[in-house]
Amino acid sequence: MVLRNGKPPLIHSGVLIGDDFLEIRKKLLVFIVFIIVISITGCSDDNNGLSINPDIYEYTPAMSSVPGIALTATFQRDLKNKNYKFHWMTEQGTFLTWHNDGKGRIEVLGNDIKTNVHKVYWTVDLDQIIEETSFTIYLTVENLDTDEIMYETNINILQQKEGYFSIKK
């Protein structure tokens, strides 16, 4: 029998009562709160509900039927009719837009763009040689009026062979 403060634990019908019960209850409550906090933080990404979803995961401009890797900004929340703009930035390559849902003209946008469309294409010029084997595309969603960053995320692109690009999953 363990003595606490010089007193034996109070047990009535196999159930702890008194100070021992309160101490165990307090430890259990702390444990439950700890588990809840861990599971909440473990379930959330650093992007706060924003992600970049590529249509394809491998691309080479030399042999492709598309002008680049289609990248779509996807939210866990509904942001329709909100006052947001998308700020796309890439360390290498450039962004394009393909008008009329892939049936119209292709427009080169640049490597640091602000737009109200959630889908862009990433590509490189056939003549451009990229030395890096890994680089990043960044996306921030900003308030249209204040430029305040509301959400941000990024993806990595790998170049394991010259001119052959893949999205790091």
Model confidence pLDDT, tens digit, residues 95-127: 999 987 777 899 999 999 999 988 999 999 878
135 belongs to a structural domain = yes
Tell me the pLDDT of the chain averaged across its residues. 81
Grade residue 34 by pLDDT with cuts at 50, 70 and 90.
low
Cα radius of gyration rounded to whole Å, the chain: 27
For the entire predicted model, the pTM comes to: 0.68
Which domain CATH number covers 74?
2.60.40
pLDDT per position as a tens digit, 37-87: 565 544 444 446 899 999 999 999 888 788 999 999 998 766 665 788 999
Residue for token digits 């702390």? 30
**Count of CB atoms situated within 10 Å of the CB of 167:** 19
**Both tokens of residue 158?**
């790998």
**Both tokens of residue 88?**
């796309």
How many domains, the chain? 2
Q: Are residues 144 and 82 in the same domain?
A: yes
**Both tokens of residue 25?**
């209850």
Q: Which domain holds residue 125?
A: 50-167
At CA 69, angle to CA 64 and CA 74, rounded to 5? 150
SS3 153: strand
What is residue 3's DSSP assignment?
-
34 belongs to a structural domain = yes
